[in-house]
Structure 1
Amino acid sequence: MSSSASGSVAERLRVRGLAPKKRFGQNFLVDEEASRRIAEAAAAPGGGTVLEIGAGLGALTRPLLARAGKVVAVERDRDLAPILREDFQAPVEEGRLEILEADAAQVDWLAALASAGGARPWVIAGNLPYQITGRLLERATEVADDIDRAVFMVQLEVAERLLAPPGGDAYGALTVFVRAAFEVKRLLTARAGAFYPRPAVDSAVVVLTSIRPRRANETEAFRLAVRAAFGARRKTLRNAWRGIYGWSAEELASHAQEAGISLDVRGETLDVEDFARLAARYSR
């Protein structure tokens, strides 16, 4: 990545007396090729409606507008929202772009997509702030049944966790919860130089494609089984699940056997469907 793109962003902020806000986790994407590829993945086929999380200075908004039928850009920074309205005045007036000055973690994503006209596919896209990535991924799983996919730039470590196979160190509760609702693929890796200011870590773009029906419904019983298993990673399931659902040791052994699960292994060896089968035993 050349310094010119980063310098352009820095200058745009400087002339308005602004600087990246650490409290918002602002690291502006300045790699145009990465923006183009994210937009292609989000708005494929052309048309549809994209909810963009954290529009910033519009690096992704612009290529999204070239492909999507309608874009709803969410930006919580009240200093940046006016810049977006100024830079994208024409698509706003044409009704192709709606700018919401709000916290994406609080916005009703489905209502925003529906109010934009509802043209399918429905897609969520954005460069997720590191400090709220977990919350936003959780929101994505909540709406997975009603959207078609999500295309997110996340910290590389998070991407590796989402893609990890059972049994690996990176495989954990986040992997299970996200893969219960989505197929996950890596689109690209973005080095630190793709952002301004330059973060301390690399990032990656993941494409989350909704699975219908889900691999598992995220019931309270399912969440409890997953969290208990990974909350004590070094323990076998016999110990990690001790007392789960109020079951005795004998009841746990019986239900686990009926679900086809060995209690002598660790939770990280189970796939999504294993957790779902145990949770279903409690629900019966």
Structure 2
Amino acid sequence: MTDTPGALLGPAEIRDLAGRLGIRPTKTLGQNFVIDGGTVRKIVRSAGVVAGERVVEIGPGLGSLTLGLLEAGASLVAVEIDPVLAGALPATVAAHLPEVAGTDRFTVVTADALEVTELPGAAPTALVANLPYNVSVPVLLTFLERFPSLERVLVMVQAEVADRLAAPPGSRTYGVPSAKVAWYASARRTSTVARSVFWPVPNVDSALVRLERREPPRTTASRAEVFAVVDAAFAQRRKMLRSALGTLAGSVEIAEAALRAAGVDPQTRGERLDIEAFTRVAEALAAGAPTSRRPGTVGT
């Protein structure tokens, strides 16, 4: 593999930069740096980034994707937990894209993404990131919750996580991440990413997932109440919902009444329910499980 011409970092430069900074990629922080410019540009194209758009990047690392996003004309805020990496990013941008240096098109926030509650400048409309494997789902859900301005997301994650995020109800990989992401957005896996484009080479495959924001289900239940039902439903996957929701509801009998009120078969399992069905169950529980049954029963 040869260094990528133009504004992007090549593999030799990435290793040299890491060496000068004393950076040794760690599994703890999930650091696997993209060293292939073609992959960077593929991510940027898949994200649909347009010139002038406000984009947030999480975990920019040495700046491979950062440069790609800026090259495409994005106005970028990068959130980086590692202070050494965060401190080096402006110099990297200045060296490769001098026209961006010193402008308001690029801002670095040194922070844990899970603790970020606000971002400087205009509200971002897109999130594009190579997310650390160990925190990808919590970070994604946190940003979807805290930044409603996000209209779309394109993230690179572990392939197994990508499958879970995009899984439909009834599939083998459908679970808590699938249902919770569906509250905020539609999700689809777009492509697999070769292990060879990373340094160090990970021992798992990666994939891109694209999310498009949509309105959450209309409901009198809160998001927290709906998510509590989702968590309880998947806590023990083999249990029927009447049993799985028993503790949350206060008893199996109350859970069964709520499920029937929501039009859900009490003997079905959580993986059969879409986010709208989970929402109806949460409504029924919050309302004290009225006995009127809605038309149509999920899970029969």
Instruction: Pick the TM interval, shorter chain.
Output: 0.7 to 0.9
Residues 193/278 of structure 1: CA separation in 2 closer, same or farther (3 Å cut):
same
Residues 50/195 of structure 1: CA separation in 2 closer, same or farther (3 Å cut):
same
Matches of 1:185 and 1:46, distance apart in 2: 24
Moved more, 60-69 or 172-181: 60-69
Matches of 2:144 and 2:198, distance apart in 1: 27
1:93 maps onto 2:98 in alignment: no
Q: Give the superposed CA RMSD.
A: 2.2
The 8 Å contact of residues 144 and 182 in structure 1, kept in 2 or not, is answered as: no
1:264 maps onto 2:262 in alignment: no
Residues 66/236 of structure 1: CA separation in 2 closer, same or farther (3 Å cut):
same
Q: Deviations over 1:70-92 (max 9, x none)?
A: 10112222222232111223313
Determine helix, strand or coil for the equivalent of 1:52: strand
Matches of 1:275 and 1:147, distance apart in 2: 24
Matches of 2:26 and 2:242, distance apart in 1: 47
> What residue is the counterpart of 1:230 in the other structure?
234
> What residue is the counterpart of 1:170 in the other structure?
173
**Alignment partner of 1:157 out of 160, 164, 167:** 160
Matches of 2:23 and 2:228, distance apart in 1: 45
**Counterpart code for 2:79:** V
TM-score w.r.t. length of structure 1: 0.88
Q: 1:1-284, aligned counterparts within 5 Å?
A: 2=1, 5-89=10-94, 90=98, 91-108=100-117, 111-112=118-119, 115-118=120-123, 122-143=125-146, 145-214=148-217, 219-247=223-251, 249=253, 251-284=254-287
By how many angstroms is 1:132 displaced? 1.3
**Counterpart code for 1:155:** Q
The 8 Å contact of residues 161 and 171 in structure 1, kept in 2 or not, is answered as: yes
Moved segments of 4+, more than 6 Å: none
| Greater length-normalized contact order (CA 8 Å, ≥ 6 residues apart) | 1
Matches of 2:159 and 2:218, distance apart in 1: 25
Identity of aligned residues (%): 34
Determine helix, strand or coil for the equivalent of 1:23: coil
The 8 Å contact of residues 55 and 128 in structure 2, kept in 1 or not, is answered as: yes
Determine helix, strand or coil for the equivalent of 2:212: strand
Residues matched between the structures, number:
276
Matches of 2:135 and 2:174, distance apart in 1: 20
TM-score w.r.t. length of structure 2: 0.84
By how many angstroms is 1:212 displaced? 2.0
Matches of 2:109 and 2:146, distance apart in 1: 19
**Counterpart code for 1:32:** G
| Structure 2 residue ranges without an equivalent (≥5) | 4-9, 288-300
| Structure 1 residue ranges without an equivalent (≥5) | none
Residues 268/215 of structure 1: CA separation in 2 closer, same or farther (3 Å cut):
farther
Matches of 2:266 and 2:51, distance apart in 1: 48
Determine helix, strand or coil for the equivalent of 1:253: helix
